[in-house]
């Protein structure tokens, strides 16, 4: 899995940062891509990346401010012309369906693929055999969500050496043993597959936050996450303004990551008042509290 940051700015685009959009690529895990938020010109950013819209399976919208949704109608339309034929589901706050359907209707846009719009009514957003997505409400003056993406634990590795010692050769029988089945060999030896499977590998956890001021709900989303992606619209000395506009500072994002016992923090949604030259000072502020912090820039890729 990889996180690809397509836009890392706050409020309005700047020359150095487009507005918010984050892609989670899962080509090995489910041969698809998920998108979190879709600010204006996201499809243009995608043209400069390795992302294919035909692989886009789900879009998760954190909240309905323009810098997080104004790119949706164009992207949904363009997907029809870029080989997108499989179903696409868009999740987000109440009001999202009206925005999308109205935009498509008044522009006469006809999609060539099934589109499902799910307005969130519960903390469980999506779940299948491989991933579970939950959410919590944040505090931003408008309904805003933080998403927790949990990968299912993976079965442990098969002890091929131990099986070889019993005379079991690689082949179809390995698949049965990997599934924990009991197999009888040609010589009558009974092999219990579960005895040759190593410890399961814990699935990865990713926390992606919408815009928010500090709120207790954040901890449940970020707890023990492998990666926390959190806005840091303002530097530490702008705490009053951050509170007024219901955003977070660098130190507040870092404090959350520390309290959640997360492994890594990536800060994004940086105010246009800060230039690329300010990146190091912003990330250094975070590192005073949470050392394993990085700052996202447009087109930055983080492997998970």
* Residue 67 is a catalytic residue: yes
Tokens of 157: 């590795």
Q: Any binding-site annotation on 298? A: no
Q: Any binding-site annotation on 44? A: no
Q: Any binding-site annotation on 63? A: yes
Query: Which residue is associated with the tokens 């949604």?
Result: 269
283 close to 267: Cβ distance less than 8 angstroms? yes
Catalytic one among 37, 67, 128, 277? 67
Cα–Cα distances in Å, from 145 out to 62, 83, 246? Answer: 5, 31, 13
Separation between Cα atoms, residue 7 and residue 16, nearest integer Å: 10
Q: Any binding-site annotation on 68? A: yes
269 close to 282: Cβ distance less than 8 angstroms? no
Q: Following DSSP, what letter does each residue of 36-101 receive, concatenated?
A: E---TTHHHHHHTSS--GGGEEEEE-----HHHHTTHHHHHHHHHTTT--S-EEEEESTTHHHHHH
Reading phi first (left if > 0) and then psi (alpha if -120 to 50, else beta), residue 168 is in beta
62 close to 86: Cβ distance less than 8 angstroms? no
Separation between Cα atoms, residue 264 and residue 302, nearest integer Å: 11
Catalytic residue IDs? 67
Task: List the binding residues for Zn(2+).
Answer: 63, 65, 67-68, 140, 211, 269
Task: List the binding residues.
Answer: 63, 65, 67-68, 140, 211, 269
């Amino acid at each position: 899995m990889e996180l690809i940051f397509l836009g890392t700015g706050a409020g309005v685009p700047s020359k150095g940062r487009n507005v918010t959009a984050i892609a989670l690529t899962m080509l090995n895990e489910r041969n698809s891509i998920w998108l979190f938020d879709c600010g204006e010109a996201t499809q243009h950013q995608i043209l400069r990346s390795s992302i294919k819209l035909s692989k886009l399976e789900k879009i998760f919208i954190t909240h309905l401010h323009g810098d997080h949704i104004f790119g949706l109608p164009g992207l949904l339309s363009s997907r029809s012309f870029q080989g997108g034929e499989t179903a696409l589901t868009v999740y987000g706050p109440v009001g999202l369906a009206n925005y999308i359907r109205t935009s498509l209707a008044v522009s006469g846009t006809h999609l060539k693929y099934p589109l499902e719009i799910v307005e969130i009514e519960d903390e469980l957003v999506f779940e299948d055999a491989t991933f579970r997505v939950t959410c919590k409400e944040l505090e931003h003056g408008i309904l805003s969500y933080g998403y927790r993406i949990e990968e299912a634990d993976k079965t442990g590795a098969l002890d091929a050496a131990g099986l070889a010692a019993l005379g079991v050769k690689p082949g179809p029988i390995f698949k049965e043993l990997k599934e924990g089945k009991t197999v009888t060999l040609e010589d009558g030896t009974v092999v219990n597959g579960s005895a040759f499977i190593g410890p399961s590998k814990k699935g990865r956890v990713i926390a992606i936050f919408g815009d928010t001021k500090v709120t207790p709900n954040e901890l449940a989303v970020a707890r023990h996450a492998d990666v926390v992606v959190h806005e840091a619209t303002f530097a530490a000395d702008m705490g009053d303004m951050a509170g007024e506009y219901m955003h977070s500072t660098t130190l507040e994002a870092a404090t959350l990551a520390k309290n959640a016992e997360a492994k890594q923090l990536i800060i994004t949604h940086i105010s246009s008042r800060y230039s690329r030259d300010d990146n190091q000072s912003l990330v250094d502020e975070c590192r005073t509290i949470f050392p394993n912090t990085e700052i996202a820039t447009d087109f930055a890729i983080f492997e998970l």
